[in-house]
Homo-oligomer: A and B are copies of this chain.
Amino acid sequence: MTADVRHDVTSHGSVSERIYLGLRQEIMHCEIAPGATLDAASIARRYEVSKTPVRDAMQKLAADGLVTILPRSGYRVAPITFQAVHEILDLRAAIGPHAARQAARYATPAEIALLRQIVSEYAAPLDIGAMQQVARRFHIAIARCSRNKRVVALSENLFDELERLLRFAIDFTVKTGEHSDEHTALVDAIEAGDGERAAAIEADHIGHSREFLIERLMTLGYLSQSEIQLGNAARSGSE
């Protein structure tokens, strides 16, 4: 799910929290169109609250990179661009291997057992959404092994954003199973304490999925060269 508790600090039952999670959900599921421009008043009406918690929520969403704040003008949900997909995949390519390397240093037997348990879930037949969730949990679990909370938070953020960005691109995209081997090899390397091998496997893995996704986006016509905006619908958040 989108909102598995999220952030450390942000989980008290306040109004602004509710707005934040609600908007986040809508934006992530593209129920609010990418590139759409929002206004605080209509959202406040829609959620039956005042504008302040909406502003709070917008600040948090802006921190997550899901909306940009146009000063004195309005809020705009982040459009879907090839550039954004590229940047996120690029960052994952930087962080993933590093996390794997560190995981090889720090992972405890219990954590490795958890990793194996997650990998085993690939055995079951999965639809594309469920598989993404498993992959997400797997990589986040590795990030956790790196003993670096910032890496964990950053990874979660990247996964979330990527999920939204690819919402239009991944409809079927089955390609199950074959990851399972890579993942098993990765856990093996981590368990063996071989950081370089772990990093290499993860780098390969990310490289593969990067190529796959970009090719997929191209065949779907979402990008001929680069810098193509996907969503521009102007549904201003009324109902």
Contact = CB atoms under 8 A, between A and B. Distances in A.
Interface of A: 8-10, 12, 14, 52, 55-56, 59-60, 62-63, 65, 68-72, 86-88, 90-91, 93-95, 97-99, 102, 146, 148-151, 154
A140 to B, nearest CB: 16
A94 B98 CA distance: 6
Contacts of A87: 148-151
Contacts of A72: 12, 14
Contacts of A8: 68
Tell which of A52, A60, A91 has the most Cβ of chain B within 10 Å. A91
Contacts of A99: 94
A62 B151 contact: no
A200 to B, nearest CB: 13
Nearest to A152: B87
A199 to B, nearest CB: 10
A75 to B, nearest CB: 10
A91 B150 contact: yes
Contacts of A65: 150
A146 to B, nearest CB: 8
Contact of A68 (B9, B97, B102): B9
Nearest to A68: B9
Nearest to A65: B150
Given A90-B98, A91-B150, A91-B151, 5 more contacts: A9-B70, A9-B71, A59-B60, A91-B148, A94-B95
Nearest to A84: B150
Contact of A59 (B12, B56, B86, B88): B56
A42 to B, nearest CB: 20
9 contacts: A9-B68, A12-B72, A59-B63, A63-B63, A86-B148, A87-B151, A93-B98, A94-B94, A154-B154
Contacts of A95: 91, 94-95
Contacts of A102: 90
Nearest to A58: B59
B59 A148 contact: no
